A and B are shown apart, each in its own frame.
Chain A
Amino acid sequence: ETGVTQSPTHLIKTRGQQVTLRCSSQSGHNTVSWYQQALGQGPQFIFQYYREEENGRGNFPPRFSGLQFPNYSSELNVNALELDDSALYLCASSKGATASYEQYFGPGTRLTVT
């Protein structure tokens, strides 16, 4: 069984640019959640996708958007990057959207905005 994978591992962007992060969910999982983890903080929920629909969103501005594809992989897009967007971005997949389903995390993408 292949685990959750994320790409790229690291990337560096300039303020004002746009970035796309990718996540492949674990086999058999239909839900992907995205988290932002700033240095010294716990993961903070950005949004969740269930069967290609966004069904939950945290306190993040609209310039954070996402997609989920028919194979349940997902993208996180961030427009107009700001310095404070520098963080580790985690995705987690699960068999369903409720808390009864364990979330399996990927290794993360480290984004640096200069």
Chain B
Amino acid sequence: AQRVTQPEKLLSVFKGAPVELKCNYSYSGSPELFWYVQYSRQRLQLLLRHISRESIKGFTADLNKGETSFHLKKPFAQEEDSAMYYCALSGRANSGYSTLTFGKGTMLLVSP
């Protein structure tokens, strides 16, 4: 079974502070990991995926297979980063197609 755990419901930081949103996963194969973000009154959208290894809006995430983690990091938080962040895992279903399993999400609040 595949599972994604985001231990923090809420993370509150001041502008300019470093941010780390934690994500741990459980999956027996080789997973693909994603971070999705939902800004206020907007729809859920992809922020980044581990396979692309790129930085989006200053955020990075490294897949650590030994610790089964995919934490999202940003060195200096901005107020516009305030949003709900979901970590998601894609594993191959029996049919051979992939499904997304989401964590419960972490609300990031960046105060001025």
Cross-chain pair count, CB within 8 angstroms: 57
Q: List 14 A-B contacts (CB under 8 A).
A: A33-B99, A33-B100, A42-B86, A42-B88, A43-B44, A45-B100, A55-B96, A56-B99, A90-B44, A99-B100, A103-B46, A103-B100, A104-B45, A106-B43
Contact B86 A108 (CB under 8 A): no
- For A100, the chain B residues whose CB sits under 8 A away are 51
Asked if B86 contacts A43 (CB within 8 A), the reply is yes
In this complex, how many residues of chain B approach chain A with their Cβ under 8 Å: the count is 23
The answer to whether A102 and B46 have CB atoms under 8 Å apart is yes
Residues of B within 8 A of A90 (CB): 44
A50 within 8 Å of B by Cβ? Answer: yes
- Asked if A70 is an interface residue, CB under 8 A from chain B, the answer is no
Chain A 39-72 interface mask (CB, 8 Å, partner B; 1/0): 0111111001010000110100000000000000
Per-position binary interface string of chain B over residues 96-110, scored 1 when its CB falls under 8 Å from any chain A CB and 0 otherwise: 111111111100000
CB contact list, A68-114 vs B, under 8 A = 90, 92, 97-100, 102-108
Q: Are B95 and A56 in contact (CB under 8 A)?
A: yes
User: B-contacting residues of A (Cβ < 8 Å)?
Assistant: 4, 33, 35, 40-45, 48, 50, 55-56, 58, 90, 92, 97-100, 102-108
Please measure, in the bound complex, the distance between the C-alpha atom of A45 and the C-alpha atom of B3, giving whole angstroms.
Answer: 12
Instruction: Kindly provide the distance from the CB of A72 to the nearest chain B CB, expressed in whole angstroms.
Output: 16
B62 at the interface (CB under 8 A from A): no
B102 touches A43 (CB 8 A): yes
Q: Shortest CB–CB separation between residue B95 and chain A, in angstroms?
A: 5
B54 to chain A minimum Cβ distance, whole angstroms, is 13
A48 touches B104 (CB 8 A): no
* CB nearest neighbor in A for B102: A42
